[in-house]
Amino acid sequence: MSALVRRLFTRRRPPAPAPQPAVSGMMLDPPLPTIYAVGDVHGRLDLYRAMEARIAADAVPGAKLIVLLGDIIDRGPDSAGMIDHLLAPAPMGTTRLCLLGNHEDMALQFLRDPDPRADWLAYGGAEMLASYGIARDITALHALSPKALAMRIAAHIPQEHVDFLAGLPLYLHAGRHYLCHAGVDPAQPLDQQDRQTLLWSRRFADPESLPPPDLAPGGLVVQGHMPVTAPSQRDWRINVDTGAYVTGRLSAVRLVQGLAPVFLAAGD
C-alpha cells in the first residue's frame, strides 16, 4: 500500500486544456439540507455505494443532499457503472448533485472529437472507455482509426450518459459554503471565479491563503482534485480527495450550517 500511495501523491499533472467559456453553477438558499460533499470517486463504484449507504444511514434529521465534487470517472474500473448509478434514484431521504471535474471536461472534449492518440487516454480515459467495452486498454485504442473509434463510441456509450456529463454544473454555492472541484482563486470574488481555476487549480497546496473577499464568515470552500493522505481542513478550505482509485479509501465531509464539519470515510 505504501508504494501505491507514493505513486499517487507524486503523479504528474495532466496537461490542462485551453480556457473555455464558463459553465453555470447552482445556488441554494437557506433553509439548507445537510450536505455531504464526496471526494473524487474515479470509477470506484464499489466505494461510492458504500459511502452512499453510510450517508443514508447517518442519524441526522431532515433532508440530505449528496454532492459529488467531480472526477467521478476515469482511472478506476467502472466509470460506466458510476454514471448508471447516478442516473438511478437516490436512496430514500437523499438527493444527489454531481459537479463537473476536469476529468469529465476532458472526456466531453474527447467524445466531441475522438482521437486514438489523445492525451486524456493516458490519464484515465482508456479505463473509462474500457468500462463501456470499447477497447481493453490504451494499446488497443492506439490501433484504431479515428473513424473506427468514433463508431465504437457511438455504439457503446449511451447518449443519456453523454448528456449527463454535459449538464453538470461547475459549482454549488450553498448558504455560506462554496463547493467546486479544484478550489478557487482567493484573490477573486466567488461570483467571478473562472472555469480554468475551478477545474484545474492546485492552490490547496499553498500553506496559507486569505479567503475570497466575499466568502461569508464561517463559510468554507470544499473541493477535491488534489489527493491528500486524509481529509484536510486549512482554515476556510477543505479537501476530501483521498485518491480512492489507488488507496481504496473514499472520503466525504458532512456540512451543517452552524456546526463543525464532520469527515466520513468508506473503504480501507
For residue 198, being part of any structural domain is answered with yes
For residue 146, being part of any structural domain is answered with no
Cα 213-233-5 angle, rounded to 5 deg = 130
Cα 139-141-143 angle, rounded to 5 deg = 75
* pLDDT at residue 6, as a whole number: 41
Q: Are 99 and 195 in contact (CB under 8 A)?
A: no
For residue 138, being part of any structural domain is answered with no
* pLDDT at residue 10, as a whole number: 44
Q: Are 75 and 224 in contact (CB under 8 A)?
A: no
For residue 15, being part of any structural domain is answered with yes
* pLDDT at residue 40, as a whole number: 98
* pLDDT at residue 5, as a whole number: 37
* pLDDT at residue 207, as a whole number: 75
Q: Are 253 and 261 in contact (CB under 8 A)?
A: yes
CA 113 from centre of chain: 23
Which structural domain range is residue 77 located in?
2-112+159-267
For the chain, which residues score pLDDT lower than 70?
Answer: 1-23
Helical spans, DSSP H, in 58-187: 79-87, 102-112, 125-131, 138-142, 146-156, 159-166
Dihedral sign computed on CA atoms, order 3, 206, 105, 34: positive
For residue 254, being part of any structural domain is answered with yes
3-state secondary structure of 167: coil
* pLDDT at residue 19, as a whole number: 42
For residue 119, being part of any structural domain is answered with no
* pLDDT at residue 4, as a whole number: 37
3-state secondary structure of 115: coil
Orientation of helix 102-112 relative to helix 159-166, angle to 10° = 130
The two beta strands, 34-38 and 249-255, are antiparallel
Q: Are 42 and 224 in contact (CB under 8 A)?
A: no
For residue 239, being part of any structural domain is answered with yes
* pLDDT at residue 109, as a whole number: 97
* pLDDT at residue 29, as a whole number: 85
State the DSSP code for 247. Answer: H
Domain count, the chain: 1
Q: What is the CATH number of the domain that holds 195?
A: 3.60.21.10
For residue 24, being part of any structural domain is answered with yes
Say what the pTM is: 0.91
The two beta strands, 221-223 and 177-180, are parallel
* pLDDT at residue 248, as a whole number: 97
* pLDDT at residue 59, as a whole number: 87
* pLDDT at residue 47, as a whole number: 98
* pLDDT at residue 1, as a whole number: 39
